[in-house]
Amino acid sequence: MYPVSLDVNGKTVSAEVDARTSLLDLLRETLGMPGSKKGCDHGQCGACTVIVNGVRINSCLSLAVSHDGDAVTTVEGLADGESLSPLQKAFVSHDAFQCGYCTPGQLCSATALLDEIKRGEPSVVTDGKVTLNEEEIRERMSGNLCRCGAYNNIVDAILSVAGEPA
């Protein structure tokens, strides 16, 4: 067993893990935070997306032990108490989900996406200056699959928040 200590949503947590434990399983099973979802467990669907040290990653392909010392934000950490984040509110008002299984991953991904735009990080459809539009959102969100097909409303929700201060 290996000791790990992480900052999860602003709180320091410690645990002993088997080296095989994924960050996703650590969050869900050991730390009792089932918000991050396991869809495929192979890096293909994005349901397990969390934000680590400011960038989004697939927690299912990450070994918990390799994240010792890192700062993790999960969907449980996006709201401020009872007050939803602007993106969470936009997902509600735009009907951006149906069953909701992919939603925690979509929200973490979209939250990180807005920061990537602010930092001026390009995508493959970027031509010159980085700006946010529908094409950019679709490209940048392609790692988050939605079996219910809520894509159009997800894009609208993100676009609606893009201009606002986060």
Ligand X SMILES: Cc1cc2nc3c(=O)[nH]c(=O)nc-3n(C[C@H](O)[C@H](O)[C@H](O)COP(=O)(O)OP(=O)(O)OC[C@H]3O[C@@H](n4cnc5c(N)ncnc54)[C@H](O)[C@@H]3O)c2cc1C
Contact positions with other proteins (CB under 8 A) in 15-34: 18-20, 22
Give dist(CA 107, CA 111) in Å, integer.
Answer: 6
Give dist(CA 80, CA 10) in Å, integer.
Answer: 12
Closer residue to ligand X, CB minimum distance, 34 or 43: 43
Partner from ligand FES, other proteins, ligand X, none contacting 45, C-beta within 5 to 8 A by type: ligand FES
Give dist(CA 93, CA 111) in Å, integer.
Answer: 17
Give dist(CA 78, CA 104) in Å, integer.
Answer: 10
Which residues does residue 158 pair with via DSSP β-bridges, in sequence order? none
Q: What is the CA radius of gyration of the chain?
A: 16
Closer residue to ligand X, CB minimum distance, 39 or 104: 39
Partner from other proteins, ligand X, ligand FES, none contacting 3, C-beta within 5 to 8 A by type: none
Any contact of residue 146 with ligand FES (CB under 6 A)? yes
How far is CA 25 from each of CA 72, 103, 141, 142, rounded to the nearest angstrom? Answer: 14, 18, 23, 23
CB of 148 to ligand FES, least distance (A): 3
Residue 94 near residue 157 (C-beta atoms within 8 A): yes
What are the residues binding ligand X (CB under 6 A)? 43-44
Report residue 11 as tokens.
């709180």
Number of residues that bind other proteins (CB under 8 A): 34
Which position among 58, 74, 109, 111 is part of the footprint of ligand FES (CB under 6 A)?
58
Build a one-symbol-per-residue string for 43-82: x at contacts with other proteins by CB under 8 A, - elsewhere: x--x--x-----xxxx--xxx-xx-x--------------
Any contact of residue 97 with ligand FES (CB under 6 A)? yes
Residue 35 near residue 48 (C-beta atoms within 8 A): no
CB of 97 to ligand FES, least distance (A): 4
